[in-house]
Amino acid sequence: MWGRKVHRNRNCIQIQNSDKTEILQLFLKPILKILYLHLKSRS
C-alpha cells in the first residue's frame, strides 16, 4: 500500500509540474509577443 501511495503522489507531482509549465507558456507567449511588438514599434 505504501509504495503505491508514494508512486501515485509522484505521478500527481509530475502532472502538476507539467501543468504549471504549460500555464506559464500560455501566459508568457502573449506577453513576450506584446513586448516584442512594443519594442519594434518604438525603434
Tell me what pLDDT residue 2 has: 52
Mean local confidence (pLDDT), 10-38: 82
Q: Of 33 and 8, which is predicted with more confidence?
A: 33
Q: Of 33 and 2, which is predicted with more confidence?
A: 33
Q: Of 32 and 3, which is predicted with more confidence?
A: 32
User: Structure pTM?
Assistant: 0.45
Look at residue 6 and tell me whether its pLDDT is greater than 60. Answer: no
Mean pLDDT estimate for the chain: 78
How long is the chain? 43
Ordered DSSP codes for the chain:
-HHHHHHHHHHHHHHHHHHHHHHHHHHHHHHHHHHHHHHHHH-
